[in-house]
Amino acid sequence: MYNFYSIQSSKYFFGWQISTGPEARQINGPATPLQIKNFTLSQHLQEIHARVTSMILRLPIVASDILSPALRTIYGIACDSVTPLFQAMLDHLEACILQIHDQNFGTLSMDAAIDFDNNASPYMEELQKSILHFRTEFLSRLLPSSGAISTGAETICTRLVRSMASWVLIFFIRHASLVRPLSESGKLRMARDMAELELAVGQNLFPVEQLGAPYQAL
């Protein structure tokens, strides 16, 4: 049995140190060795947490009371191992969406709108590429399988991905609603961007139809 009382710090577990520096938060390149170590640590700790939680359900209440603080610590370390990466990605996606205010949706000609009908706006293309890169380089290592999300398996990463997907939709809706002026051709371009966002989020982060209110608002 694991010795839960050997945990001395929220940054260490069995001699493994969580990487919390800039490298742990980088999202532009491939996953680094330190990031992969964080991912592995988080996954191992989640497995320990799940197994021991299942075990203590069959133990006396006093045993549960003794083990619960250690289990919370384990879960906290597992979260700390991956949360900075997700926060960095969310900050980047917000920055992409904020570029919507630099676009011209007011005086766009119909010819230009037709061109955009086949292509997303530059800010949306950047957001799409970023989400695809995040899926390919990071989520592919963090999520057990492509079906794990849709089957409802709840892990730290599926929870973080769901929260990210919901917030990206909400953040886009809030800022898209502020765009002025908005011509008829600009509305067509905005609708195209909205469709591209839905596709990018649904294919690479989380099924949008399972997000509830954020998806309905979109």
Residues spanned by the domain of 43:
4-217
Q: What is the pTM of this model?
A: 0.84
CA-CA distance, 125 to 110, in Å (whole number)? Answer: 21
Tally of structural domains, the chain: 1
SS3 string, the chain, reads CCCHHHCCCCCEECCEECCCCHHHHCCCCCCCHHHHHHHHHHHHHHHHHHHHHHHHCCCCHHHHHHHHHHHHHHHHHHHHHHHHHHHHHHHHHHHHHHHHHHCCCCCCCHHHHHHHHCCCCHHHHHHHHHHHHHHHHHHHHHCCCCHHHHCCCCCHHHHHHHHHHHHHHHHHHHHHCCCCCCCHHHHHHHHHHHHHHHHHHHHHCCCHHHCCHHHHHC
Structure tokens at 38: 């964080």
Give pLDDT tens digits for 28-84: 999 999 999 999 999 999 999 999 998 988 889 898 889 999 999 999 999 999 999
As a whole number, mean pLDDT of residues 185-192 equals 90
**E strand intervals along the chain:** 12-13, 16-17
CA-CA distance, 106 to 200, in Å (whole number)? Answer: 25
Give pLDDT tens digits for 96-143: 999 999 998 887 565 555 555 567 899 999 999 999 999 999 999 998
Give pLDDT tens digits for 145-186: 644 444 445 899 999 999 999 999 999 999 999 999 998 888
Angle between helix 156-176 and 61-98 (nearest 10): 30
